[in-house]
Chain A
Amino acid sequence: MFEVARWPRNPWSVFDELDSLHTDFNRVLDGWDRSTESAGRYDRASRYRAVYPPMNVWSAEDGIVIDAELPGVDPKAVDISVQGDELTLKGEVNTATADDKAVCYRRERPSGSFTRTLRLPFRADSSAVRAQYRNGVLRLSIPRPEEEKPKKIAIEAA
């Protein structure tokens, strides 16, 4: 018989990545992935093996909030753009060249350029997106436009 659907039933998967973008942009993690071997089964600060930056996404009727872990990045070097229902985060992390005289013993922190695109469950208005960078976490607040909000449909008396 019918299975009562759990609300919110959301066919949108928050990490619905666009396939074409997977190809070039894992470069930032190449060196990093090797160093995680030593971490073994310990909980790393970020378990991102395939994509960067790692994100946590919250949803409510008013909109979406995305937290992206980007420690040590210059907020001016991060490009946030919204086109239709696609949100793209692009930038560089830890690319400042170190002092040549310095010897590097350990390099675990990710470095390089990154691009990541998420598909939002609604078409967002790019001018309404707010971004805050605090303690290494970039918080994006994307309001849901009025026409995309769930609407109650009144049941007419027969």
Chain B
Amino acid sequence: MMSEKHEQVVRTEDKQRAQAVERSEQQPDTIFVPDVDIREDDAALHLLADMPGVDQESANVTVENGVLTIEGQSRLEGPVGYELVGQEYGTGRFRRDFTLSDAVDVEGIKARARHGVLDVTLPKHEAVKTRKVAIES
């Protein structure tokens, strides 16, 4: 099934989530955890994160010590002069961390924010890309 290397990439960062709760309890601002879709094809891993209200300038993607951090700040203000009469969602900061395996070529990571979705492409190192082996007759 999934090889160990790939499992590392998608491993849920329980520890980091716990830290996020601690941080949000200490600070007045809440940190929202964005929903993500993670897919892998032959050449790269693709991560899509829902961050409504976040644009190119307020999104931030960093890699440090093999941990990918995606962040964003929702910037949509309510209309001026109106009273909030119903609220189903909150706005604020988004943040989520992922541990990357060695298979990822960190230098080649690309990210784009569009329509409130952060699209991150994580290319795999040449050596680990799937290669079809021709069978000699």
Contacts and interface: CB of A to CB of B under 8 A. Distances in A.
Interface of A: 8, 10, 13-15, 32, 35, 38-48, 51, 54-60, 65, 67, 69-73, 94, 98-99, 101-110, 133-137, 139, 141
A86 B19 CA distance: 44
Contacts of A54: 88-89
Name the 8 nearest CB pairs between A and B, nearest first.
A136-B116, A14-B86, A71-B116, A58-B82, A136-B52, A108-B35, A72-B117, A57-B86
B111 interface: no
Nearest to A14: B86
Interface in B29-57: 30-42, 46, 48, 50-55
B48 A136 contact: no
Nearest to B130: A101
Given A57-B86, A60-B81, A105-B9, 20 more contacts: A14-B85, A32-B35, A42-B17, A43-B24, A46-B52, A46-B89, A47-B88, A51-B88, A54-B88, A56-B78, A56-B88, A69-B116, A71-B51, A71-B116, A73-B115, A101-B41, A109-B37, A134-B76, A136-B50, A139-B76
B71 to A, nearest CB: 13
Contacts of A48: 88-89
A15 B87 CA distance: 9
B131 to A, nearest CB: 14
A135 B116 contact: yes
A73 B114 CA distance: 10
Most chain A Cβ neighbours within 10 Å, of B17, B34, B116: B116
A121 to B, nearest CB: 9
B111 to A, nearest CB: 15
A51 B88 CA distance: 10
A2 to B, nearest CB: 24
A135 B39 contact: no
B10 A45 contact: no
Given A103-B39, A137-B116, A42 B50 contact: no
Most chain B Cβ neighbours within 10 Å, of A10, A42, A60: A42
B84 A56 contact: yes
Given A39-B33, A135-B54, A135-B76, A57 B24 contact: no
Contacts of A56: 78, 84, 86-89
